[in-house]
Structure 1
Amino acid sequence: MPVATSRSTAVTLPEGPFPHVALSAQLRFEASLPYGVCLAFPSRGPQGETLEWYFGRDLLAEGRLASAGDGDVRVEPGPDGRVLVTLNPHDAGRTVVSVPAKAVAAFLNDAFTLVPPGTESEHLDLDAVLAQLFP
């Protein structure tokens, strides 16, 4: 049985200087971290680093239907079949990422198939959680 799922998609930054330029991104879910999802942006630079944002799987699910979240990450339905993910870290400027709603729905379907709602604690790998918190 698979222990992870991911979906590559093209996103835009509607409040950025080039709002219609598509960027590569990936939505990721690991059964060992059942409460969260990752929105990752592969780097094209020489370092090859990937920028990753982790936030709640339920936040993504709720936010694709109605505005949700009140911390560093907010999710809400956007125009034209999009989902808007607002990343607002305390030490940097706000970034809004526009993701196709169909990609989000398909990704969540896969994630909820791997770990159905209400069964998250059965899949929780505390060592993996600690490794994410304290790299």
Structure 2
Amino acid sequence: MSALTVVRLDAARGRLPLLARFSYDGEDPYVVQAAFLDGPTVLARWHFDRQMLAEGLHRPVGEGDVTFSPHRAAGADELRIALRGPAAETEGNAVLFVEARVLTGFLEQTYAITGAGEEFLDVDKLLDEFLAR
């Protein structure tokens, strides 16, 4: 399942709108995939920990490449997503804002597929697939 929404990229000229597709597959129950789009072109693709994304709606979480924190702007609750590229480069860094209600609705749908605490990763199957390559 997936949800398409607008995120705002924090830039020197203000917040620039981008499309984002958040996707979830119960086969990989810990991961939410995010693709940031400019029309049909994928600008970047990130994989987020679903639990960390959910917690980021309520408190700052994460370190290193990805951090999430709640943010309030113009009377609306948002999630602030900070993405960092390689340490030596600043070009890969980005700060994005997405409406909290959109992510909350998306996460509720993911929990309908795989409930919190019900995640299971079949390591034997994963190992078999890896060794078959």
Do these two structures clear the TM 0.5 threshold for a shared fold by scoring above it? yes
CA distance in 2 between partners of 1:40 and 1:49 (Å): 6
Query: Residue type matched to 2:24 in 1?
Result: F
Tell me how far 1:12 sits from its aligned partner: 0.6
Alignment of 1:47-62 (within 5 A): 48-49=41-42, 51-62=44-55
The answer to whether structure 1 residue 120 and structure 2 residue 95 are counterparts is: no
In structure 1, the residue matched to 2:35 is 40
CA distance in 1 between partners of 2:122 and 2:96 (Å): 29
- Which residue, 31, 48, 63 being the options, matches 1:70? 63
What root-mean-square deviation, in Å, do the aligned CA atoms of Structure 1 and Structure 2 show? 2.3
CA distance in 2 between partners of 1:88 and 1:49 (Å): 17
Question: Quick check: which one's strand share is greater?
Answer: 2
- Structure 2: segments with no counterpart, 5+ residues: none
- Structure 1: segments with no counterpart, 5+ residues: 131-135
CA distance in 2 between partners of 1:123 and 1:105 (Å): 27
TM-score of the aligned structures, taking structure 1 as reference length:
0.79
In structure 1, the residue matched to 2:82 is 86
TM-score of the aligned structures, taking structure 2 as reference length:
0.80
CA distance in 2 between partners of 1:43 and 1:23 (Å): 6
In structure 2, the residue matched to 1:98 is 97
The answer to whether structure 1 residue 22 and structure 2 residue 17 are counterparts is: yes
SS across alignment from 1:97: strand
Greater Cα offset, 61-70 or 20-29: 20-29
Tell me how far 1:17 sits from its aligned partner: 2.7
The 1:7–1:18 alpha-carbon spacing in structure 2 relative to 1, beyond 3 Å, is farther
Query: Residue type matched to 1:86 in 2?
Result: A
CA distance in 1 between partners of 2:67 and 2:112 (Å): 24
Query: Residue type matched to 1:107 in 2?
Result: F
Larger Rg: 2
The 1:121–1:83 alpha-carbon spacing in structure 2 relative to 1, beyond 3 Å, is same
Tell me the percent identity.
Answer: 26
Tell me how far 1:21 sits from its aligned partner: 2.5
CA distance in 1 between partners of 2:72 and 2:116 (Å): 28
Tell me how far 1:20 sits from its aligned partner: 2.8
SS across alignment from 1:10: strand
Q: Kindly indicate whether the alpha-carbon contact (under 8 Å) linking 1:34 and 1:123 is maintained by their aligned counterparts in 2.
A: no
